[in-house]
């Protein structure tokens, strides 16, 4: 477990360093969103079950395809679903996909909603910072490097999208991933 934790930390630090140095490259391709979300959910099923959670998916029929970096998109989705599983116990995690109109082909929006521990407004204000978790007890209890959301947000910015979050302490959180459906200039 310690070797795996160190490897994860090292990979996270390297990813963040590449992003901040402007050396992270995107490899844009056509991504079947439904297939990717199914893969992420299948990969996360064991983690969800370990916490006694139900994992549900909605909106795959309308998800379609997008032009994005499949590896980076999968990394972001795995982080969001993994966090929802980690911070929820005997609850529900929903992954909901939808299209929204906008420039070009519009937007892909994926909500990852959980009934977990939620966050206070103060915790929310630090959410996308490097090496930040809700507080030190979160790190002790749930583990992790505190880099996943920082990396995910920066990857989304590279892909011309973003992640936003809403949360109520003790009632759960919703993380919303928004990405352009077609390739943007500079991507």
3-state secondary structure of 142: helix
Residue 58 confidence (pLDDT) above 80: yes
The model carries a pTM of 0.84
Give residue 2's pLDDT.
56
Residue 21 confidence (pLDDT) above 80: no
Average pLDDT over residues 111-120: 95
CB-CB contact of 119 with 87 (8 Å): no
Tokens of 96: 């909901």
Tokens of 182: 């077609």
Q: What are the pLDDT digits (tens) for 134-182?
A: 445 544 454 555 678 888 898 899 999 999 999 999 999 999 999 999 9
CA distance 73 to 79: 10
Give residue 1's pLDDT.
55
Give residue 10's pLDDT.
59
C-alpha distances out from residue 43 to 31, 36, 72, 180, Å: 18, 10, 16, 25
Exposure on the CB side of residue 89, measured as CA atoms within 13 A: 4
């Amino acid at each position: 477990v310690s070797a795996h934790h160190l490897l994860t930390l090292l990979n996270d630090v390297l990813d963040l360093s590449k992003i901040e140095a402007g050396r992270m490259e995107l490899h844009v391709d056509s991504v079947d969103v439904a297939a990717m979300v199914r893969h992420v959910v299948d990969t996360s099923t064991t983690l969800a079950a370990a916490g006694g959670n139900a994992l549900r998916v909605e909106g795959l029929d309308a998800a379609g395809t997008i032009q994005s970096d499949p590896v980076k998109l999968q990394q972001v989705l795995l982080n969001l679903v993994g966090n929802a599983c980690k911070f929820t116990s005997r609850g529900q995690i929903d992954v909901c996909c939808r299209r929204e109109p906008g420039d070009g082909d519009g937007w892909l929006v994926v909500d990852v909603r959980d009934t977990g521990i939620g966050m206070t407004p103060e915790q929310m204000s630090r959410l996308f910072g490097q090496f930040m978790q809700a507080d030190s007890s979160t790190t002790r209890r749930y583990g992790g490097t505190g880099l996943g959301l920082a990396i995910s947000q920066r990857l989304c910015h590279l892909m011309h999208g973003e992640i936003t979050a809403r949360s109520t302490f003790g009632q759960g959180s919703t993380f919303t991933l928004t990405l352009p459906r077609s390739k943007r200039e500079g991507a």
